[in-house]
Structure 1
Amino acid sequence: MNHEALFADRIGGTQFGKSTEIYKFEKIKRAKAKARAQQPDLEILDFGVGEPDQMAPAPIREALKVECDKPENRGYADNGGPEFKAAAATYMKEFFGVELDPATEINHSIGTKPALAMLPLAFVNPGDVVFQTVPGYPVMATHSKYLGAQVVDIPLLEENAFLPDLSKIDPTLADRCKLFYINYPNNPTGAVATPAFYDELIAFAKKHNILIIQDAPYSTLVYDGERTSLLQRPGAKECTLELHSMSKAYNMTGWRLAFFCGASWAVNALATVKDNCDSGQFKAIQKAACAGIADKSLADGIRDHYEKRLRRLVEILCEVGFDAKMPGGTFFLYTKAPKGAGETTFANAEEASLYLIEKFGISTVPWDNTGPFIRFGAVFESAGEADDERVLNELAARLKKADLKF
């Protein structure tokens, strides 16, 4: 059987599985294994993790224990029950002051990743243009390419506060654009968008007939200033679909629960596609989330946990020469990569990151899309809050031994 002839061109066709290219996350994984093999007693300090280090809040966990035993929660949830939609609407009102109709302007999804993957099915035809900010999360762009769209990377540069410069976008290209993907607070840069930028983006979207996709899983993790939603801005609800995740805000990674909200016509279109892709998240999980997602005190406690770690990370990194600054949001710290260590010179951030893992057991994530940067995450493993300082002090000691050059 010629199975190679069966693979779709979008995943490589006859060349599928034959690439020898090693992606950066696989390189990091291999470098960790190498470090463990060479130094078996060395504790790996993993600042490259992208998911919360704690369990979901007790009220949500306790509610799940109750809800999973209720007979009415068996069976398919389809496009979601009214309880979670109502809780999501309360969350948007309590956290952002945004009024939404749970019936027409909100729908749940099994995490934001599937929603982003389905989005192009609702809006993209072959030959259409899709904008995505880089560096960033590529899922929507990947599926847009699968459907024959032209994906245009819009760079996030430090000199522009990691906001896209809309004035540099070709108007002719913008006229062909269907979707504009943004992500604020931003992973990996930690940047928070300003109201002025949001207003400029809304005007841009209306001028060129574009749907803004605002991926907002870190919207509760903001450190200096108020939490914001794009939907707060005038006119946003006409041209915006905003995605919120329970994973980052409430440590519910693995529970797979999110929601998308905004323009009713866009919510309806994505919900229609979703209805043909899945049968909804387990009702007990949806109802358990209702016990906590509008509770600011729970979100504040999680935010404070990361803020304390991030501020200490900034101190440590600055002490050894990094130009580290407290991020506006997320649990990531994004900083210029070192240029070398001792007599070693790094060609890019990836080389710097691999050096830190292999030689000193410090795991980070490199980004070279718009210059050499390294991302440190405040989601490292420890034995609890009392152990955080030990881990961070060990990081400081190892970085000083690394003799980094900037």
Structure 2
Amino acid sequence: MTGKLRLERPELAAQLAASVSGRQKWTNDADGLFLAAPRRTGKSTFLKGDLGPALLELGAEVLYVDFWANLNVDPAALLYAEISRALLENAGFVARMAERAKLTKVQIGAAGTSLAFDPTQIGTSPGSSLTAALRELYAATSKPIALILDEAQQLTVSPRGEDVLKELKAARDTLNQPDDVRLMLIMSGSDRDKLGRLTNSKAAAFYGSMVKTLPLLGEDYVAWLGGLLAQSNPNLGRIDTQAMGSAFAMLGHRPQMMDRAIGNALNPVTRGDASFEAAVLEHADAIRSSERERYTDLYSSRSSMQKAVLTVLMESADTFSPYGAVTLKSIGAVFGKTASTTSVQSALEALRKLDPPMVWKSNRGEYALDDLGMIEWYQEAKASGKWPPA
């Protein structure tokens, strides 16, 4: 219904840009801005369409990397590729030609110019560290660098991820000076707990930083939708934005799902006899119910041990320690038999190998649910006395 139209959020973007660039006092966002928001709630759209342009307005060189763009590629490699692209784009003509010809020095007349840094070797050879690459990029652009890493928790599943995070911190410490922020790090995630693994332990590279929740789309978005609907469908009359807001909240503040409910309500075949707003609410409830049924089917199709592991994982969330005595006892209580380390490990690996996976694992051996929606489904089922599913 809305096509490529979207609600812009310039004020929020300007505030965050000012904070991460060190222009706003009494925050530590210049040390690293960590933003969490649930899947499909507009996080990536905001980062690319609002925050990126706001940082450009401040004169920054903005690099954006989506670690979910290709899950078959090492996240570290995706980061290196983007920095390499920016380096080559900003290098002089001679340097670009030298790199393409695999030369380290090019002679022009009596004067020579050398390619001081090989962008294709970031992280793979001495002198080509991430810190050196970002320092070269700053020198080439004479601009502060804003590095936006979307779904940054994926670095924790990369064999090189921990080293990359440490290098990013080292680059920040090297480039940034008091009152002169030359490297801005913005890391986002669709799972607050997973993203928090970059900050919440003393071994984490960004220990001490705080994960903030990106504000969800709310009343402004619903009012904007109402305006679009009134303009494109004047026959609807005055739009009840309160009812629309209830439907949007029911759908977890996800624009794509709201578009689906609105599209069904506008379609004469699927609308029924209800008013437009009532039809939107009805279709929103149907979408939500369908998602809950999918979770029920996913859970019910697993083995008894896998169900027990999932149950304890949903109950304990980020405190889940798979092979600890307390966890093994809890899994055994759900399973109805003693749970061994081997049986739990087998269940976790089976859940990870599903397509899509039900369980996520970091390179440190930490486990979490891949889809946080399952926790909400689990909590609702428990609260309504419908747990475990029949």
TM class by shorter-chain length?
Answer: under 0.3
User: Which has more helix, going by share of residues?
Assistant: 2
Whichever of the two has the greater Rg, that structure is: 2
User: Which has more strand, going by share of residues?
Assistant: 1
Greater RCO, 1 or 2 (C-alpha within 8 Å, sep 6+): 1
